[in-house]
Chain A
Protein backbone atom coordinates (compact mmCIF):
# COMPACT_ATOMS: atom_id res chain seq x y z
CA UNK A 1 0.00 0.00 0.00
CA UNK A 2 1.50 3.31 -1.09
CA UNK A 3 0.95 6.18 1.32
CA UNK A 4 0.26 8.97 -1.20
CA UNK A 5 -0.44 11.56 1.49
CA UNK A 6 2.97 10.85 3.01
CA UNK A 7 4.86 11.68 -0.20
CA UNK A 8 6.43 15.09 0.16
CA UNK A 9 8.05 15.57 -3.25
CA UNK A 10 6.81 18.62 -5.17
CA UNK A 11 6.43 19.28 -8.86
CA UNK A 12 7.95 22.27 -10.67
CA UNK A 13 5.04 24.41 -9.46
CA UNK A 14 5.26 23.35 -5.82
CA UNK A 15 2.34 20.89 -5.84
CA UNK A 16 2.45 17.48 -4.16
CA UNK A 17 1.06 14.34 -5.79
CA UNK A 18 -1.91 14.24 -3.42
CA UNK A 19 -2.72 17.90 -4.10
CA UNK A 20 -2.80 17.22 -7.84
CA UNK A 21 -4.82 14.01 -7.43
CA UNK A 22 -7.39 15.80 -5.25
CA UNK A 23 -8.53 17.86 -8.25
CA UNK A 24 -8.91 14.98 -10.73
CA UNK A 25 -7.38 11.54 -11.31
CA UNK A 26 -3.66 11.69 -11.98
CA UNK A 27 -1.78 9.47 -14.40
CA UNK A 28 1.75 9.48 -13.00
CA UNK A 29 4.29 8.14 -15.48
CA UNK A 30 7.73 7.17 -14.21
CA UNK A 31 10.41 7.60 -16.86
CA UNK A 32 13.44 5.37 -17.07
CA UNK A 33 15.61 8.13 -18.44
CA UNK A 34 15.42 10.95 -20.89
CA UNK A 35 17.75 12.54 -23.40
Chain B
Protein backbone atom coordinates (compact mmCIF):
# COMPACT_ATOMS: atom_id res chain seq x y z
CA UNK B 1 0.00 0.00 0.00
CA UNK B 2 2.82 2.39 0.84
CA UNK B 3 4.39 1.51 -2.53
CA UNK B 4 1.20 2.47 -4.34
CA UNK B 5 1.04 5.68 -2.38
CA UNK B 6 4.59 6.49 -3.54
CA UNK B 7 3.81 5.53 -7.15
CA UNK B 8 0.57 7.47 -7.35
CA UNK B 9 2.16 10.47 -9.09
CA UNK B 10 3.87 8.26 -11.69
CA UNK B 11 0.64 6.40 -12.38
CA UNK B 12 -1.17 9.71 -12.70
CA UNK B 13 1.53 10.94 -15.12
CA UNK B 14 0.53 8.06 -17.42
CA UNK B 15 -2.95 9.58 -17.53
CA UNK B 16 -4.36 6.80 -15.38
CA UNK B 17 -6.49 7.16 -12.27
CA UNK B 18 -5.90 4.91 -9.28
CA UNK B 19 -8.82 3.23 -7.49
CA UNK B 20 -9.17 0.45 -4.95
CA UNK B 21 -11.50 -2.37 -4.02
CA UNK B 22 -11.45 -3.54 -0.41
CA UNK B 23 -13.44 -5.75 1.94
CA UNK B 24 -13.65 -3.43 4.92
CA UNK B 25 -16.30 -1.11 6.28
CA UNK B 26 -16.20 2.40 4.81
CA UNK B 27 -15.48 4.00 8.19
CA UNK B 28 -12.34 1.83 8.62
CA UNK B 29 -11.32 2.28 4.99
CA UNK B 30 -11.53 6.05 5.28
CA UNK B 31 -9.03 6.06 8.16
CA UNK B 32 -6.74 3.52 6.50
CA UNK B 33 -6.56 5.27 3.13
CA UNK B 34 -6.08 8.66 4.79
CA UNK B 35 -3.05 7.25 6.64
CA UNK B 36 -1.42 6.52 3.27
CA UNK B 37 -2.41 9.85 1.74
CA UNK B 38 -4.90 8.07 -0.50
CA UNK B 39 -8.10 9.22 1.16
CA UNK B 40 -9.28 11.00 -1.98
CA UNK B 41 -8.76 8.04 -4.34
CA UNK B 42 -11.95 6.25 -5.38
CA UNK B 43 -12.55 3.09 -3.37
CA UNK B 44 -15.19 0.40 -3.62
CA UNK B 45 -16.23 -1.60 -0.58
CA UNK B 46 -17.04 -5.22 -1.30
CA UNK B 47 -17.52 -6.85 2.07
CA UNK B 48 -19.24 -9.87 0.57
CA UNK B 49 -16.40 -10.14 -2.03
CA UNK B 50 -18.93 -10.04 -4.86
CA UNK B 51 -16.86 -7.52 -6.80
CA UNK B 52 -13.79 -9.76 -6.45
CA UNK B 53 -15.71 -12.67 -7.94
CA UNK B 54 -16.97 -10.51 -10.82
CA UNK B 55 -13.32 -9.95 -11.76
CA UNK B 56 -12.42 -13.62 -11.35
CA UNK B 57 -10.49 -13.17 -8.11
CA UNK B 58 -11.00 -16.20 -5.92
CA UNK B 59 -9.74 -17.35 -2.58
CA UNK B 60 -6.26 -18.84 -2.59
CA UNK B 61 -5.60 -22.53 -2.18
CA UNK B 62 -3.51 -23.78 0.74
CA UNK B 63 -0.46 -24.06 -1.54
CA UNK B 64 -0.95 -20.47 -2.77
CA UNK B 65 -1.35 -19.11 0.75
CA UNK B 66 1.39 -21.06 2.48
CA UNK B 67 4.54 -21.31 0.40
CA UNK B 68 8.11 -20.03 0.28
CA UNK B 69 7.28 -16.97 -1.85
CA UNK B 70 4.54 -15.90 0.56
CA UNK B 71 6.91 -16.33 3.49
CA UNK B 72 9.73 -14.31 1.89
CA UNK B 73 7.24 -11.63 0.86
CA UNK B 74 5.98 -11.38 4.46
CA UNK B 75 9.52 -11.16 5.81
CA UNK B 76 10.33 -8.44 3.27
CA UNK B 77 7.27 -6.43 4.31
CA UNK B 78 8.20 -6.84 7.98
CA UNK B 79 11.76 -5.63 7.29
CA UNK B 80 10.33 -2.55 5.56
CA UNK B 81 8.54 -1.72 8.79
CA UNK B 82 5.05 -2.94 7.94
CA UNK B 83 3.18 -4.54 10.82
CA UNK B 84 -0.06 -6.44 10.67
CA UNK B 85 -2.75 -4.82 12.79
CA UNK B 86 -6.39 -5.76 13.07
CA UNK B 87 -7.26 -7.21 9.70
CA UNK B 88 -10.23 -5.96 7.70
CA UNK B 89 -10.90 -8.38 4.91
CA UNK B 90 -10.13 -11.96 4.12
CA UNK B 91 -6.47 -13.04 4.16
CA UNK B 92 -7.41 -15.98 1.94
CA UNK B 93 -8.70 -13.68 -0.80
CA UNK B 94 -6.25 -13.35 -3.69
CA UNK B 95 -5.45 -9.79 -4.78
CA UNK B 96 -5.26 -8.46 -8.32
CA UNK B 97 -5.26 -5.38 -10.51
CA UNK B 98 -7.09 -4.39 -13.68
CA UNK B 99 -6.60 -1.55 -16.13
CA UNK B 100 -9.97 -0.43 -17.43
CA UNK B 101 -10.72 2.01 -20.21
CA UNK B 102 -14.36 2.75 -20.91
CA UNK B 103 -16.15 -0.56 -20.59
CA UNK B 104 -13.11 -2.63 -21.51
CA UNK B 105 -10.56 -4.39 -19.31
CA UNK B 106 -7.37 -3.80 -21.26
CA UNK B 107 -4.93 -5.41 -18.84
CA UNK B 108 -5.37 -7.80 -15.95
CA UNK B 109 -3.19 -9.17 -13.20
CA UNK B 110 -4.32 -11.94 -10.88
CA UNK B 111 -1.79 -12.76 -8.17
CA UNK B 112 -0.51 -16.33 -8.00
CA UNK B 113 0.41 -15.88 -4.33
CA UNK B 114 -0.69 -13.20 -1.82
CA UNK B 115 2.46 -11.05 -1.83
CA UNK B 116 2.95 -11.04 -5.60
CA UNK B 117 3.11 -7.55 -7.05
CA UNK B 118 2.96 -6.19 -10.53
CA UNK B 119 4.97 -3.21 -11.81
CA UNK B 120 2.08 -0.80 -11.32
CA UNK B 121 3.60 2.04 -13.35
CA UNK B 122 4.15 -0.08 -16.50
CA UNK B 123 0.85 -1.81 -15.90
CA UNK B 124 -1.02 1.50 -15.77
CA UNK B 125 0.18 2.61 -19.20
CA UNK B 126 -2.26 2.28 -22.08
CA UNK B 127 0.60 2.46 -24.60
CA UNK B 128 1.05 -0.70 -26.63
CA UNK B 129 4.56 -2.13 -26.36
CA UNK B 130 5.98 -4.48 -28.98
> CB within 8 Å of B: which residues of A?
2-5, 7, 9-13, 15, 17-18, 20-35
Residue B101, interface by CB 8 Å = yes
Please state if A7 and B16 are interface contacts (CB–CB under 8 Å). no
Interface size on B, residues (CB 8 A): 58
Beyond known contacts A2-B55, A13-B42, A26-B99: 11 more, CB 8 A cutoff:
A4-B102, A7-B51, A12-B42, A25-B124, A26-B101, A27-B17, A28-B19, A28-B100, A29-B18, A31-B23, A35-B86
Which residues from B are CB-within-8-Å of A27? 11, 16-19, 97-99, 120, 123-124
Please state if B19 and A31 are interface contacts (CB–CB under 8 Å). no
In the complex the two chains form, what is the Cα distance from A32 to B87 in whole Å?
A: 10
In the complex the two chains form, what is the Cα distance from A15 to B42 in whole Å?
A: 8
